[in-house]
């Protein structure tokens, strides 16, 4: 089979690789589409070294068709379309024993901690395969993983019907938080970013999405003005590495300032830099700050909402490339974030 191998950081090459038969209780999936995620951009640049030493095959957002089943694999049959959950919990650490799997101290992901799905075939344990009903295009099925992050964040933050939200960061993660939220609440949602095109994607797809470019106006002032001084119920931070911090409020601090008394801030952005949190601003509101990591148990709801056409996967996809153009795809996302949100790679060449 062909696999897209990161031979050295910033350099992909399509190579021939062997694929073994699926082991016990595994299915072999012929990958149809895989999606490039922000984490893949970090892997590409070597930021995850030594967790991802080269040569390496990334890819943790993917979907395809079952072509073979291993001994004892009984929950699917060849021909089934599946979304692949890349997360492997240890099941034994104190967090796993409490059922809090995203906090697993030994959590591993296919495509980050081991070779992943930027290839034509992959063997995966049956518990990580989610069969999709007819009617969902395979390309959209490859987005179930990132949608899971959006639905999980909504669950962690406790979004309810009628909740007004602010989402800081209209990138890939911010957009899926919004789409998941819109299956729950129809109240106003403020999207904050520094890229107009990304804000526009959200505001054109949904009613009552209020775009705020932090370079043009102070998002906290805007949110307070629009909510008559009350603030929103819940704020999500999905930026991670803020740009223009000299000219814009830090998203974590802005999120705290934008919520009402007793509100919730849910943080997702991953960075090693400390955020300038003034805890007094949180304490005065007796507000809660909560974190959200990956997803747990959200695949079925995402697949159901895709089937019901309640999500907008098309607006996340900027372009679809054959896997042979993987190098170009990574360079485009890096160079041109205004025009490229998600690029899908097609592996059934």
Ligand X SMILES: NC(=O)c1ccc[n+]([C@@H]2O[C@H](COP(=O)([O-])OP(=O)(O)OC[C@H]3O[C@@H](n4cnc5c(N)ncnc54)[C@H](O)[C@@H]3O)[C@@H](O)[C@H]2O)c1
Q: How far is the CB of 64 from Zn ion (least distance, A)?
A: 17
By CB under 6 A, tell whether 269 contacts ligand X: yes
Asked if 269 and 238 touch (Cβ cutoff 8 Å), the reply is yes
Which of 27/174 has CB closer to ligand X?
Answer: 174
Calculate the alpha carbon distances from 242 to 92, 100, 274, 342 in Å.
36, 29, 12, 19
By CB under 6 A, tell whether 172 contacts ligand X: yes
By CB under 6 A, tell whether 48 contacts ligand X: no
Asked if 198 and 171 touch (Cβ cutoff 8 Å), the reply is yes
Please tell me whether residue 196 adopts helix, strand or coil conformation.
helix
Considering only residues 293, 296, 305, 312, which one is a binding residue for ligand X as defined by CB under 6 A? 293
By CB under 6 A, tell whether 148 contacts ligand X: no
By CB under 5 A, tell whether 93 contacts Zn ion: yes
Which of 65/93 has CB closer to Zn ion?
Answer: 93
Phi, psi of 176 (to 5 degrees): -75, -30
The structure tokens listed for 246 are 């000299």
Residue 96: contacted member of ligand X, Zn ion, none (CB under 5 to 8 Å, by partner type): Zn ion
- C-alpha 155/C-alpha 76 separation (Å) is 29
By CB under 6 A, tell whether 103 contacts ligand X: no
Choose one: 74-82, 83-91, 114-122, 288-296; the region binding ligand X (CB under 6 A).
Answer: 288-296
Size of interface with ligand X, in residues (CB under 6 A): 30
- C-alpha 174/C-alpha 167 separation (Å) is 6
Sort 54 into a burial class: Cβ within 10 Å, 0-12 / 13-18 / 19+: middle
Considering only residues 19, 95, 103, 195, which one is a binding residue for ligand X as defined by CB under 6 A? 195
By CB under 5 A, tell whether 344 contacts Zn ion: no
By CB under 6 A, tell whether 248 contacts ligand X: yes
Q: How far is the CB of 297 from ligand X (least distance, A)?
A: 14
- C-alpha 283/C-alpha 289 separation (Å) is 11
- C-alpha 332/C-alpha 70 separation (Å) is 39
By CB under 6 A, tell whether 238 contacts ligand X: yes
Binding site for Zn ion (CB under 5 A): 37, 39, 90, 93, 96, 104
């Amino acid at each position: 089979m062909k696999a897209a191998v990161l031979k050295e950081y910033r350099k992909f090459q399509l190579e021939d690789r062997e694929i073994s038969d699926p082991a016990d209780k595994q299915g072999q999936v012929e990958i149809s589409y895989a999606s490039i995620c922000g984490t893949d951009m970090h892997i590409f640049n070597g930021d995850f070294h030594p967790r991802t030493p080269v040569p390496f095959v990334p890819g943790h957002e993917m979907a395809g068709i079952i072509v073979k089943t291993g001994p004892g694999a009984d929950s699917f049959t060849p021909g089934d379309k599946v979304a692949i959950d890349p997360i492997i919990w240890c099941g034994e650490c104190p967090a796993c024993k409490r059922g809090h799997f995203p906090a697993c101290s030994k959590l591993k992901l296919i495509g980050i901690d081991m070779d992943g799905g930027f290839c034509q075939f992959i063997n995966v344990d049956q518990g990580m395969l989610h069969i999709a009903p007819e009617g969902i295009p395979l390309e959209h099925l490859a987005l179930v993983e990132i949608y899971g992050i959006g639905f999980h964040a909504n669950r962690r933050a406790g979004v309810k019907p009628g909740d007004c939200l602010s989402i800081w960061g209209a990138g890939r993660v911010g957009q899926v938080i919004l789409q998941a939220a819109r299956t729950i609440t129809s109240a106003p949602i403020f999207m904050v970013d520094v890229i107009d095109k990304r804000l526009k994607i959200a505001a054109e797809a949904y009613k009552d999405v209020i775009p705020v470019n932090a370079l043009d106006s102070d998002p906290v002032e805007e949110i307070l003005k629009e909510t008559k001084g009350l603030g929103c119920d819940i704020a999500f931070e999905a930026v991670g590495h803020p740009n223009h911090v000299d000219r814009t409020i830090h998203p974590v601090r802005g999120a705290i300032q934008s919520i009402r008394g007793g509100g919730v801030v849910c943080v997702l952005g991953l960075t090693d830099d400390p955020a300038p949190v003034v805890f007094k601003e949180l304490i005065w509101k007796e507000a809660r700050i909560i974190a959200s990591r990956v997803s747990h148990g959200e695949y079925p709801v995402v697949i159901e909402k895709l089937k019901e056409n309640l999500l907008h996967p098309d607006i996340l996809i900027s372009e679809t490339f054959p896997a042979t153009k993987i190098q170009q795809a990574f360079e485009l996302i890096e160079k041109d974030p205004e025009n490229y949100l998600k690029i899908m790679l097609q592996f059934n060449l």
